[in-house]
Amino acid sequence: MSLSPTFMTVLPFDLVELIAKEIEDDPSIFNLRLVSKSVNSAVTPLALRVVVVRDSIESASAVSFLQDCDGSVTSHVREVIFRGYSPGNRPEEEPRDALRATFSRLNKFPNLHTLRLDFHVLWEESVRQQWTRLVPEKLSRFYHLQTAIFAGLAENPPRSLISLLLHNIYKEKNFHRVLEPVQNLEIRVLSEPDDEVWFEKRFLAVFWRQSVALMVRAATSLTSLTLRGDQPVGVNPPLSFQGATLPHLTSLVLHQFMLDPMLSVGSGVFAFILRHKATLTHLELHGCTIDGGEVPEFLGQWHTIFTRFEQELRFLRSFVFENRDGNPSQSLEFGYTRLVYEEYDYETWKEPIHSAGPSILGRFKLFA
């Protein structure tokens, strides 16, 4: 369908606005702003609703220009998305400083409620082990770029922010203040998946235990929390969620976590779930397992998990369960893992689990 300027100017304002909402191509929306004042009024809020920042000086400068506009422009921005280049692409000029400046001024958008940071998806760092520490041999530009962006955010956290999505982040302690007003938080962690690099998994566990726990503690306004690991984590050592409570949490989604219903310190993932029984209405467990330690001894099993859920999660209205292969809960392949080599490496336990408790299948169906 071809929309000529003359055609658009004679249409009722409400119809122009409706047509603009159905246009998915951003350049088309911006071109419509040139048709007339009435069309401009209808289209401008849509054209500026989502601002995409790319890994380049040109993109950072364009967003900076928007930030310098008056409220008639900046008030329309609702969401900012950062899309990094893939590791195979490199901008001609390093945009790190320009991007830091741009992200330090997100509070120029007074109605910004969603920030999404899509960083690169491949592990590019080079590290070596020195005694009990990992020493960087060479840090990639992607690491420095993330550090710069988080530093910019920490300088002036956007107070209107309620939703934050972080994909493929490194360890970063510089942005906890950004999390205070956030209501929806999604964290997806990128790490080295090589099974032979066992000493690096020790530091991955430390990252989850310290950095992620601090993020969760800082985000006291959360109503929705999603944590996506790319390797099993959660039991040895347990995540430091001791006493951590999010008073408004209604939705919790976990990927690749190990649950231990026998963990007595109250800092594990299972205890964290139950601690939110008064508010939790939606729960998803994807690729989660029960760990039996190095022996292994599966003293706590899935029937224990589901029994406690049934007894205590009285307000739960929806529950999603997928095994480690991504199959739906109908397959009922309940996962178990064991600790390997007294370190932080785990393998799937494939032998039958003998249980003196009730039927896992029956307990799952009763709970679900």
DSSP string, 104-131: TTGGGSTT--EEEEE--SS---EEEEET
- Asked whether residue 143 falls in the same domain as residue 253, the answer is no
pLDDT at 140 over 70: yes
Does the residue 188 lie in any domain?
Answer: no
**Which is more confident, 340 or 323?**
323
At 299 the pLDDT is: 64
Q: Which residues pair with 347 in a beta bridge?
A: 338
Does the residue 87 lie in any domain?
Answer: yes
Least confident of 33-47, 98-112, 166-180, 307-321: 33-47
- Asked whether residue 2 falls in the same domain as residue 124, the answer is no
Query: How far apart (Å, rounded) are the C-alpha atoms in residues 119 and 146?
Result: 8
Task: Please provide the average confidence, as pLDDT, over all residues in the chain.
Answer: 74
Does the residue 187 lie in any domain?
Answer: no
- Asked whether residue 131 falls in the same domain as residue 245, the answer is no
Query: How far apart (Å, rounded) are the C-alpha atoms in residues 284 and 19?
Result: 37
- Asked whether residue 197 falls in the same domain as residue 308, the answer is yes
- Asked whether residue 249 falls in the same domain as residue 302, the answer is yes
Which residue from 357, 218, 211, 216 is spatially nearest to 298, judged by alpha carbons? 357
- Asked whether residue 233 falls in the same domain as residue 368, the answer is yes
- Asked whether residue 131 falls in the same domain as residue 24, the answer is no
Tokens found for residue 72: 């008639």
Q: Which residues pair with 322 in a beta bridge?
A: 286, 328
Report whether 75 contacts 48 (CB < 8 A).
no
Number of domains composing the chain:
3
- CATH number for the domain including 119? 3.80.10
Query: How far apart (Å, rounded) are the C-alpha atoms in residues 233 and 260?
Result: 11
Query: How far apart (Å, rounded) are the C-alpha atoms in residues 206 and 197?
Result: 15
For the segment 49-69, the average pLDDT, to the nearest whole number, is: 92
Query: How far apart (Å, rounded) are the C-alpha atoms in residues 57 and 39?
Result: 31
- Asked whether residue 150 falls in the same domain as residue 258, the answer is no
pTM over 0.75? The answer is: no
pLDDT more than 70, % of the chain: 56
Does the residue 92 lie in any domain?
Answer: yes
Q: How many CB atoms lie within 10 A of CB 317?
A: 10
- Asked whether residue 139 falls in the same domain as residue 5, the answer is no
Query: How far apart (Å, rounded) are the C-alpha atoms in residues 365 and 368?
Result: 5
pLDDT at 325 over 60: no
DSSP string, 27-68: HHHHHHTTT-HHHHHHHHHHHTSEEEEESSHHHHHHHHHHHT
Which residue from 63, 41, 47 is spatially nearest to 108, judged by alpha carbons? 63
Torsional sign, CA 131, 132, 133, 135? positive
Tokens 């970063």 map to which residue?
172
Does the residue 114 lie in any domain?
Answer: yes
State pLDDT tens for residues 184-230: 988 887 666 555 544 456 667 677 777 787 788 888 899 999 998 77
For the segment 336-351, the average pLDDT, to the nearest whole number, is: 61
Tokens 């938080």 map to which residue?
185
* Domain span holding position 127: 49-182
At 277 the pLDDT is: 95
- Asked whether residue 339 falls in the same domain as residue 359, the answer is yes
Does the residue 36 lie in any domain?
Answer: yes
Does the residue 347 lie in any domain?
Answer: yes
Q: Which residues pair with 129 in a beta bridge?
A: 134
**Which is more confident, 46 or 258?**
258
- Asked whether residue 97 falls in the same domain as residue 235, the answer is no
Q: DSSP state, 265? A: S
Query: How far apart (Å, rounded) are the C-alpha atoms in residues 305 and 270?
Result: 8
Tokens found for residue 48: 């500026």
Does the residue 100 lie in any domain?
Answer: yes
